[in-house]
Amino acid sequence: MDLSTFWIVMWIMMPAYLANTIAVLTGGKYPIDQGKNYSDGNRILGDGKTWSGLIGGTIGGIIIGYLQLNYGDSLIERLANINEVDFWGEKPIIIFFLLSFGALFGDMTASFIKRRSQLKRGDKSPLLDMFDFIGMALLLSFIFANDWLMSWILEGYVPLFTLLVATPILHRGVNIIGYKLGVKNEPW
């Protein structure tokens, strides 16, 4: 992985990466599962998945994408040493939504799976915790914006391997920072 590929991965996935961070900052009100339990007796999602976080994180990710589109593409072109690449396709707002909402929906899906596995909020589940948000963002993009997704993965801008290597490193680093700042209860 060369450094320019790393910068492109960070740039394209920034709405997804930051949606999770923004959801932590805006969350805490109105649990999505309304405090209800599933048939196994455990909460459906838990207190950590709230409407305020889902909406705030999704809107925040869309705003990040909008800022990238309007103010930052030239910056990434310089960092990655590339010339005028169309990162977002014909309908960028849809891409920003899919990445942002997909990341948060993936996190909710992981919470649902963790509750079914008898894990409590904050319990470790390494692979699930590192790839849930990015996996769902990519899945929704594959379903609803396949041409866009395949254009940057298959055309060599961002090999999927780079994304799979960069995500856990960033995820862990951001979580440690959040823990040290007191925004997160655990460093994973």
> Which tens digit of pLDDT belongs to each residue from 119-152?
887 777 877 888 899 999 999 999 999 999 888 7
What pLDDT, on a 0 to 100 scale, did the predictor assign at position 156? 58
Interatomic CA distance for residues 133 and 64, integer angstroms: 17
What H or E segment, with its residue span, contains residue 181? Answer: helix 160-181
**Across 32-46, 84-98, 135-149, 161-175, least confident range:** 161-175
What pLDDT, on a 0 to 100 scale, did the predictor assign at position 188? 67
Phi, psi of 43 (to 5 degrees): -55, 150
Angle at 67 between CA 72 and CA 107, to 5 degrees: 110
> Which tens digit of pLDDT belongs to each residue from 19-62?
988 998 999 999 999 999 999 999 999 999 999 999 999 999 99
Q: Do 64 and 14 contact (CB within 8 A), yes or no?
A: yes
Interatomic CA distance for residues 118 and 65, integer angstroms: 36
- Nearest of 179, 122, 162, 131 to residue 17 by alpha carbon: 131
Model confidence band, residue 159 (pLDDT cutoffs 50, 70, 90):
low
Residues counted in the chain: 188
